[in-house]
Amino acid sequence: MVAEKATDKGFASNRTQRIWDWFLIAGFITLSIVSCIVKQNFEIVSFAAGLCSILCVIFGAKGRMENFIFGFLGSILNGYIYLHAEIYGSAALYLLYNLPMQFIGFFQWKKRQQGDGTATIKTRWMNNKQRILTAISSIALIAVIYLILQTTNGNLPVMDAVRTGIMIVTQFVLTFAFIEQWFLWLLLNSATITMWAIATIRGEQYAVIMMIQSLFFLLNSIRGVIVWIKLNKNR
């Protein structure tokens, strides 16, 4: 009887996850289509970038290796979009940092796979020293990137620096499968939504779909916190 209850609970949990996954995918596609109808312009690059990124974070929230495939494609497409928008810090981040980190992350996660024959990894918490170092590194990176961006004519240098600095640290934390990455994703996605909201007001071509994409990323970050904590407890 206990085993049956555990199985039923696991099935219900998996069903809930599948519903959430399809909500993210269908929600992004629906809002993207509505945006295209309103603007009378289908932006294939931003749509493809958004879809790859949505699939990346869905697999990432589950601790699944497949996230790096879509992370690779999403990095290339998002890098192009940020270059087009003249948001140079984020463009460099995607093309020069996130892109190679997909390969590093893949092999790091490969080492931490569960021993149950699945592609799910073992998650872990940082210690206090690592958390303090992460916070200091984030602040220092934001300051340095902002100073560098001041030498360019890029758009939104403050938000670009905040987003780029946090994402560099977050990608590193993700690579080594720390649960704290999801709290950093919450900060990052909030900053990204703000940045693209400003870009939307300024009339940037890809801004609306990128803002929609970031909204779904924010929702998935909340889910990621919950799922990764459960993965850690089930080790």
Low-confidence winner among 101-105, 189-193, 204-208 (lowest mean pLDDT): 204-208
Which of 124, 129, 100, 98 is closest to 111 using CA atoms? 124
Structural domain count, the chain: 1
Count CA atoms within 13 Å of residue 139 on its CB side. Answer: 5
Output helix, strand, coil percentages for the chain, rounded to the nearest 5.
80, 5, 20
| CA-based R_g, the chain, Å | 18
Contacts of 192-195 with C-beta under 8 Å, sequence gap 24+, read 192/163, 192/217, 193/218, 194/159, 195/87, 195/156, 195/159, 195/160, 195/163
- Structural domain for 220, as ranges: 2-233
Does the pLDDT value for residue 1 go beyond 60? no
Phi, psi angle pair for 153, to nearest 5°: -105, 30
Q: How confident is the model at residue 11 (pLDDT cuts 50, 70, 90)?
A: very low
State pTM to two decimals: 0.70
Residues counted in the chain: 235
Each residue's pLDDT tens digit, 40-99: 667 788 889 888 988 988 888 777 888 899 999 999 999 998 888 888 888 888 898 889
Measure the CA dihedral 82/86/87/93, to 10°: 60
